[in-house]
Structure 1
Amino acid sequence: MPHTLHSRHAILSRPIVLIGLMGSGKSTVGRRLAARLHLPFIDADHEIEVAAGLSIPEIFARFGEAHFRDGERRVISRLIDGNPKIVATGGGAFMQDDTRQLILDKATAIWLDADIDVLADRVGRRDGRPLLKDREPREVLAELAAIRNPVYALAPIHVRSQPLPHEATVDSIMKALNL
């Protein structure tokens, strides 16, 4: 179906927020999607680190997850300001009631979903994930998926993140957005 300038404008008139488990490609795909759409890209985790002056593992270690989630909510609230952009959130952001409602009300939420094996392979390439500290990634990801996937499913757009080049996921997002 051909899309009109109006529909493209409606989609691109508010932030697009990528949600999903760690390793689903939110940051990497988000950067590429932003470039394709000529929009700014913002990684919420990076913004949290800048605001706190600490890394996410340091925030978790010093203050705990509840403190981190409060800061995350404040940062995401600041980022979802009505201006078009691509925002990659941390995996737990959408699990917080206030943050989830803000995203659903003021942005276009896209759930990047991937198989546990794909996620485990991807997260194994990077250290510094507090929820994986001293644990088996595949086991943690399966536990998180069981809890989080039903909540992520509240996002109006669901895109599979396959073990393919990230451009394939960007293409799937563009198709889902009718762009």
Structure 2
Amino acid sequence: MIDPAKVADPGSELIDRLATRVAEVRKKRGLPRRVLSEMSGVSPRYLAQLEAGEGNISVMLLQRVAEALDVRIEALLAEEVPLDHDVQRMAVLFRQAPLEIQHEVRRLLAPQNPAMMRAGRICLIGLRGAGKSTLGRMAGEALGIPFVELNRDIEEHADMPLAEVMAFYGDTGYRRLEAEALERISAKYDRVILAVAGGIVAEEKTYAHLLERFHTVWIRTSAPEHMQRVRAQGDHRPMQGNPAAMAHLRELLKARTPLYAQAEAQVNTANKTVQSSLNNLLAVIANKRFLDPGT
């Protein structure tokens, strides 16, 4: 029985956990304490004290015990039960595999618990001007999680503004950089709100990856508000020299609606204040439990 006086002491908790972990791994390996002593060079008496939670073992000696047990030293100290050898090896193989193989592994595993692949990650999709960046940034601040714009990540890694990226790489090259950026964000963050460019939904493989790895919310508004907000951002290109711009925008929105509609939720920002739209987005995230593990 653990001494109640130790429970409140983080050091005692660590020693108790270490004692339990060493004993469990040793027994699982079928190693008598005497054999472990011979393999590690640590005395049987010291090992007995260690497994009883009475040994204040040095880091160097603990490393020798870990090596003799064929586990990483952090596995003996971690709060969660460490993964077994086969799973650890699979993790190493996964990290070393090409992206195509990693995607195939995820595709095979995702049906077992699709929500687990997306838990904690939220992606805002929709045409430019709907409010993705504004709402994403505000929601991230409200929830205490990072907000990332995919195009900003592309700019940082390409070390040039997006306009130069497009001019240098072209549309095909940009789409490749976009897919790579999405992979980076997926690997880096367990909890994040991501905003992506409106055209990502037209790239079948990239969009499939996005839907697999993120809970998605379509931030939408009316065509006139899309145009108005883009112009308010200082970009007059949609109107200059193109009197049919609004008709083109409506056609684009109509064509992409079936793709955007694959999102798990929608937030319509048309004729709403920013605060009202933010409240709606936060309500969607809470009600659908997008940040809950495995949901």
2:275 to 163, 167, 170: 167
Partners in 2 of 1:68 and 1:130 — Cα distance? 20
Confirm or deny: 8 A CA contact 1:77 1:99 kept in the other structure.
Answer: no
Q: Which amino acid in 2 is paired with 1:122?
A: R
Structure 1: any 5+ residue segments left out of the alignment? 1-9
User: CA, structure 1 residues 47+128, in 2 after alignment: closer, same or farther (shift >3 Å)?
Assistant: farther
Q: Helix, strand or coil for the counterpart of 2:130?
A: coil
The CA distance in 2 between the partners of 1:61 and 1:86, in whole Å, is 28
1:99 and 2:199 correspond: no
CA RMSD of aligned residues (A): 2.5
**Aligned residue in 2 for 1:60:** 166
User: Contact 1:14 / 1:106 at 8 angstroms: preserved in 2?
Assistant: no
Is 1:86 aligned to 2:193, yes or no? yes
- Give the Cα–Cα distance (whole angstroms) in 1 for the partners of residues 248 and 172 of structure 2: 19
SS at match of 1:168: helix
CA–CA distance in structure 2, aligned partners of residues 158 and 128 of structure 1:
26
Q: What's the offset of the Cα at 1:128?
A: 5.8
Letter in 1 for 2:147: F
**Alpha-carbon distance in structure 1 between the residues aligned to 2:269 and 2:238:** 21
Matched residue, 2:97: none
TM superposition shift of 1:130: 8.1
Please identify the structure whose Cα radius of gyration is greater.
Answer: 2
Q: Secondary structure at the match of 2:232?
A: coil
Establish whether residue 113 from structure 1 lines up as the match of residue 220 from structure 2: yes
Instruction: Give per-residue Cα distances to partners, 1:49-91, cap 9 Å, x unaligned.
Output: 1111222222222322111111011101111235111001111
Amino acid across the alignment from 2:257: N
The question of whether the paired residues in 1 share the 8 Å contact of 2:119 and 2:215 is answered with no
Higher RCO by CA contacts (8 Å cutoff, separation 6 or greater)? 1
Deviations 1:74-120 (A, max 9, x none): 10111123511100111111221122111111110000111001101
Richer in helix (by share): 2
Sort the Cα spacing of 1:144 and 1:101 in 2 relative to 1 into closer, same or farther, 3 A: same
SS at match of 1:64: helix
Q: Distance in 2 between matches of 1:129 and 1:157?
A: 30
Sequence identity of aligned pairs in percent? 25
Distance 1:61 1:98 in 2: 23
Per mean C-alpha deviation after superposition, the further-off stretch among 45-54 and 135-144 is 135-144
Question: Do the aligned partners of 1:57 and 1:130 also contact (CA within 8 Å) in 2?
Answer: no
